[in-house]
Structure 1
């Protein structure tokens, strides 16, 4: 297993994710955010070198994998586009908050994942370099009582998974707006039209 994550690194990780700490399942009853021709194909989650941050609660790796896969399906099975895209997700590290000490410390659970997105039709990666996503649990316990007192390790990881998958959706929506990932193949179409025009000329 690789280098253990220090407390300082964990703090930086949690600060980076603080703005994304809303409940990741809050919008699942609403229509899915438009995502072009997207339809989820393979939903692959692995954790070959997952690191448990010191003081974290323990959780079986298979439970983590299954929980994250279920969260991915819960959100992305709502999309019914015309083309298949595949996810390869690696769980890199996690921290599941222990009970802590009320009024002194209410630590927040956190994890890091990496995702690779594949275009099935073109048989190529849309993410040449895996996208790293850092997430912390939803801040719904208040600053006094942490989830270590109110939730099981499984519940904590489900919360993290739903938040992570919401961030994945936000990432994909942004890339689709910027680069048209799920809007067909405009570059190829334009090249074909240009070639046709040159032949006609």
Structure 2
């Protein structure tokens, strides 16, 4: 695991983020009959990468749980599933030399999804997800120059939750997780109706 982390961290200077977690104000993508039961986050093997700020296990657990809740509590399917995540390693960028050596922030997690009613895992082997900070005007020179540790952790955790969702959607289509995709007719009925225009109050 440590070798895997070092290999990732060596690439951070040239990798950019491609995850956009800023979709929480829109209706969630289809996940069949999914409804979040428990979200369990642990960090027994947490490894800090080189040139990183410090963050405790407790901080990472709280950050990841908040991001998972934020994204997955929106689902209201008919069957409970549990998400278990293990935070394995991280880099929280510190201020570096702009452009050339300014490091990027990154996070590695392992994820397992459980079917509550069946009492078993949907994936026997944990899915490993690697997250790199999203590139924006504030992070193009490295988030260590512009962001606090707390902001870096929140952004990485939200990116991780989005990538977990992307993986779960792929598995739903490929392996019929969560009962398979919801039929289009059912999804259409589930969409909230547009509220009628307000009637002007009469004078008097």
Question: Is the counterpart of residue 37 in structure 1 residue 36 in structure 2?
Answer: no
Cα distance between partner residues in 1 of 2:166 and 2:154 = 18
Where is the helix percentage greater, Structure 1 or Structure 2?
A: 1
Question: Is the counterpart of residue 70 in structure 1 residue 66 in structure 2?
Answer: yes
Please report how far the alpha carbon of residue 3 of structure 1 lies from its aligned counterpart in structure 2 after TM superposition: 3.9
Cα gap change, 1:142/1:63 in structure 2, threshold over 3 Å: closer, same or farther? closer
- Equivalences for residues 95-110 of structure 1 within 5 A: 95-110=91-106
Unaligned runs of 5+ in 1: 185-201
Q: Which residue of 1 aligns with 2:196?
A: none
Q: Which residue of 2 aligns with 1:137?
A: 133
1:91-139 C-alpha deviation (Å, 9 max, x unpaired)? 0000000011124322110010000100001111001000000000110
TM-score (norm 1): 0.82
Q: Which residue of 1 aligns with 2:45?
A: 49
Cα distance between partner residues in 2 of 1:167 and 1:144 = 21
Cα gap change, 1:130/1:62 in structure 2, threshold over 3 Å: closer, same or farther? same
Q: Which residue of 2 aligns with 1:90?
A: 86
Cα gap change, 1:124/1:14 in structure 2, threshold over 3 Å: closer, same or farther? farther
Please report how far the alpha carbon of residue 39 of structure 1 lies from its aligned counterpart in structure 2 after TM superposition: 0.3
Please report how far the alpha carbon of residue 7 of structure 1 lies from its aligned counterpart in structure 2 after TM superposition: 4.6
Q: Which residue of 1 aligns with 2:10?
A: 11
Cα distance between partner residues in 1 of 2:157 and 2:24 = 14
Cα gap change, 1:143/1:88 in structure 2, threshold over 3 Å: closer, same or farther? closer
Cα distance between partner residues in 1 of 2:54 and 2:82 = 29
Q: Which residue of 2 aligns with 1:21?
A: 18
Q: Which residue of 2 aligns with 1:169?
A: 165
Cα distance between partner residues in 2 of 1:182 and 1:127 = 12
How many positions carry a matched residue from both structures?
180
Cα distance between partner residues in 1 of 2:139 and 2:112 = 35
Cα distance between partner residues in 1 of 2:64 and 2:11 = 23
Cα gap change, 1:142/1:155 in structure 2, threshold over 3 Å: closer, same or farther? closer
Please report how far the alpha carbon of residue 12 of structure 1 lies from its aligned counterpart in structure 2 after TM superposition: 4.4
Unaligned runs of 5+ in 2: 181-204
Please report how far the alpha carbon of residue 154 of structure 1 lies from its aligned counterpart in structure 2 after TM superposition: 1.2
Instruction: Answer whether contact 1:99 1:149 (CA < 8 A) is retained.
Output: yes
Please report how far the alpha carbon of residue 178 of structure 1 lies from its aligned counterpart in structure 2 after TM superposition: 1.1
